[in-house]
Structure 1
Amino acid sequence: MPERRRGAALEKALLDAAWEELMDTGYARFTMDAVVKRAGTSPPVLYRRWSNRDELVRAAIVHTLKESRLDVPDTGSLREDILTLMREINSTRVQFITIMSMRLADYHQETGNSPVDLRDPLATGRAEALDALFGRAVDRGEIKPELLTERVKSLPFDLLRHEILTTFAPVPDDTLEEIVDGVFLPLVR
């Protein structure tokens, strides 16, 4: 008999099953029953945590984004930190970004939520990690802290995501450098 999962291990298994179901079937065909079956559990176990599929989908996305968060580099230079992180996203996350966008189109349409609503940087830990990266750059005197709005901090990554979603392919390195050198750095210096 398999060992009974509890607490964090059970929640992780449920969220992983929900994510897998979402990626396999998309939001339109995503059901709580399918997640129960995939996770090998019972409906009450799932419904005690999430009362409907929208809550479960949102939780699965936040969980997956948190688990797939990349380490923030510390190269000693803001330019190199941003480029290193963008290159890592570019080399490891193109398929993830593309599939997630396609599979969640129905979710956005049905719920009225936008993709930005699902990438909550506080819930995923992204804000804290990027704040540390930008804090080091401020401490080194590379950038002016008053110019670091949330939009400016996310700009290079937003532009990278835009490039990925318009080509469904990795972005050429010269384009990454153009984003950083021609768009981002002039805004923070």
Structure 2
Amino acid sequence: MAEKMPPAQRRRGTALEDVLLEAAWTELQRTGYAEFTIDAVARAARTSRAVLYRRWPHRAALVLAALRAHVTPVAEDVPDTGSLGGDVIAVLSTLAGRADVGGLDVLVGLLSELDEVPESLTTTVPDVLRQVLARAAARGEIGRGDIPATVLELPVFLLRYDMVVNRRTPSGERLTEIVDDLFLPLVQRYASA
């Protein structure tokens, strides 16, 4: 006689969200961003699309949540190499390395599809760079002048440009160029004012 299986337990809260994000991550790795669908994630998680849409209003939001569940936020591990240039290059290297984790097509697709980039994406890196700059000022590498937001955003905009427009992950040489030739001269100009 066949053994009866216990009835499936209804998943809720964090347990459900973990299953959904894991299914999304697996599907993303399998198909890439262009072929990623809410339907496929719902099938993999053995749930309905409505369950997913209650948490994430569109696929870009779900992909972003899946990435966040699998990648340590840069703000949680701010590099301290002992020099301003080294710290900024390390931050950019961490961000560029995310293309290796999620896939460049995932990052390009995500950035191109988000109608509104969540505030956390636009403020996190400048906040991290403010920490890096404060440490550099404490070490005496730079003055304590006010650095405009545009200068703080510049390295990330250039990184995104390389990844979205040029469709390549910037090399270490390119990151050094962004920092040494563009970012640091602007920081020195404003920090010493």
When normalised by structure 1's length, the TM-score is 0.69
Q: 2:121 aligns to what?
A: 121
Match of 2:67 among 50, 64, 67: 64
The structure whose Rg is larger is 2
What is the Cα deviation at residue 154 of structure 1? 2.5
Gaps in structure 1 of 5+ consecutive residues? none
- CA distance 1:187–1:81, shift in 2 (3 Å): same
Superposed displacement of residue 188, structure 1: 0.9
Pair 1:93-2:92 in alignment: no
Q: Distance in 2 between matches of 1:8 and 1:186?
A: 46
1:122 Cα offset (Å): 6.8
Higher relative contact order by CA 8 Å / sep ≥ 6: 1 or 2?
Answer: 1
Unaligned ranges ≥5, structure 2: 1-5, 189-193
Q: In the alignment, residue 93 of structure 1 is paired with which amino acid?
A: R
Q: Percent identity?
A: 35
Measure, in 2, the Cα distance between the counterparts of 1:82 and 1:26. Answer: 29
Question: Residue 159 of structure 1 corresponds to which residue in structure 2?
Answer: 158
Residue-pair matches, total: 177
TM-score of the aligned structures, taking structure 2 as reference length: 0.68
Match of 1:79 among 78, 85, 102: 85
After TM superposition, the structure 1 stretch with the greater mean CA deviation from structure 2, 7-16 or 92-101, is 92-101
- Confirm whether residue 132 of structure 1 aligns to residue 169 of structure 2: no
> Shift in Å at residue 178 of structure 1?
1.8
**Is the Cα–Cα contact under 8 Å of residues 92 and 156 in structure 2 kept in the other structure?**
yes
- After superposition, the Cα gap between the structure-2 partners of 1:98 and 1:106, relative to the gap in structure 1 and judged at 3 Å, is same
Displaced runs of 4 or more, over 6 A? none
Aligned-residue RMSD, C-alpha:
3.5
